[in-house]
Structure 1
Amino acid sequence: MRKLLLAAVLPFSALAQDAPINLTPGAAPASQEIVATLAEKDRLLFDAAFGCKVDVLKTLVADDLEFFHDKHGLSMTSGAQFVQAIADGCKRQEAGTDFRARRELVAGSMTVHMIGAYGAMQMGTHRFYALRTGQPDQLTETGKFIDLWKREGDDWKLARVISYDHVLAPQPK
């Protein structure tokens, strides 16, 4: 049965990659250096997005970024569109229409897996908080994410985002 399955899958996997087929089980584990690099990229990304640092954000995303959200489906199809959406949200915050927010990565939830020569997949759980002047930060929701980071030379660019399993936090009465 295993030989039959390999015979059926191998031709399709060869189409999906330019590199030779590797039949060794499992992918190469992410090195501690890559894990640390992506943890820092993750921190910079959310600091830029929620801190309205649009110029920094532009340096972190790939031109062909795609963003999938469990509530909205395919939401964005380019890095420019993503950056513009963040910039628009910052304008709404300045106008007082939207509240400021922060994101917190749940400690110990992040994992990183190599995706061949393309890059790495980062997964984890995060919490989002509303920030209102004179009030404690208020948890608004939790969610999970899968981020695909593309390696471009010595740099990493966010290329794909799957944001899912969002659960609204109970609101105080």
Structure 2
Amino acid sequence: MHALAQGAAAAAIVVPPTGPALTAEIRTRDAAFFAAFFERCDRQVVAAYLTPDFEMYHDKGGKLAGGAAVFLDDYMKSCTEAAKPDGWRHQRELVLSSLRVEAVPGFGAIEEGDHDFYEGKGDRPKRKVGTAHFVQLWQRAPDGWRLARVFSYSHRKTP
């Protein structure tokens, strides 16, 4: 019976790809997460991308998240404001040339790069308002990739 338990535990460990395949996989997850986060305000999808102990640190806002539940509650408040006819709507775009992904054996991957931010009021066109650097720690779970830690810093406004 002990051998069966060890076999089941080993089957639960998912080994992520490496090299270009890992970069492609993380890039796809990154795009899906931020589309749900900024463009659709989809709480269910965003929640599925976060570890329960998710943390986010921001050079302008400090520690923005100490757990997924608290983060999601604050997130939904901003989504409610954005949904108003004159609400500010946001968009994030990864700067592809800056993307770096490194495997973290036994855990997942570190994603690093720059991202551009756009915003517009109501249904007006969005304009680029700034750029920042980020580092994201992704955990590989049997059911997919989850964000465990996010660091967003070196924010600079677009002139």
Same fold (TM over 0.5): yes
Identity %: 32
Determine whether 1:112 maps to 2:97: no
> Which consecutive unaligned segments of at least 5 residues does structure 1 have?
1-28
Structure 1 equivalent of residue 135 of structure 2: 146
2:25 aligned to which of 33, 37, 54: 37
- 8 Å CA contact retained: 2:84, 2:122: no
Change (3 A) 1:60 1:123: same
Determine whether 1:89 maps to 2:89: no
Q: CA deviation at 1:156?
A: 1.0
CA distance in 1, matches of 2:25, 2:70: 25
CA distance in 2, matches of 1:83, 1:56: 11
Structure 2 equivalent of residue 125 of structure 1: 114
- 8 Å CA contact retained: 2:92, 2:117: yes
1:156 aligned to which of 127, 145, 154: 145
Q: CA deviation at 1:132?
A: 3.5
With CA pairs under 8 Å and 6+ residues apart, which has the higher RCO, 1 or 2? Answer: 2
CA distance in 2, matches of 1:134, 1:52: 16
CA distance in 1, matches of 2:94, 2:70: 24
CA distance in 1, matches of 2:131, 2:19: 28
In structure 1, the residue corresponding to 2:41 is in which secondary structure?
A: coil
In structure 1, the residue corresponding to 2:97 is in which secondary structure?
A: coil
Structure 1 equivalent of residue 12 of structure 2: none
Question: Which runs of at least 4 in structure 1 moved beyond 3 Å after TM superposition?
Answer: 132-136
Which structure is larger by alpha-carbon Rg, 1 or 2?
1
CA distance in 2, matches of 1:88, 1:97: 15
More helix by share: 2
CA distance in 2, matches of 1:134, 1:76: 29
User: Where in structure 2 are the equivalents of 1:48-63 lying within 5 Å?
Assistant: 48-50=36-38, 51-63=40-52
Q: What TM-score does the superposition give when structure 1 sets the normalisation length?
A: 0.76
Residue range with higher mean Cα deviation, 131-140 or 75-84: 131-140
Change (3 A) 1:112 1:105: same
- 8 Å CA contact retained: 1:142, 1:169: yes
How many pairs were matched up?
A: 142
In structure 2, the residue corresponding to 1:136 is in which secondary structure?
A: coil
CA distance in 2, matches of 1:103, 1:122: 16
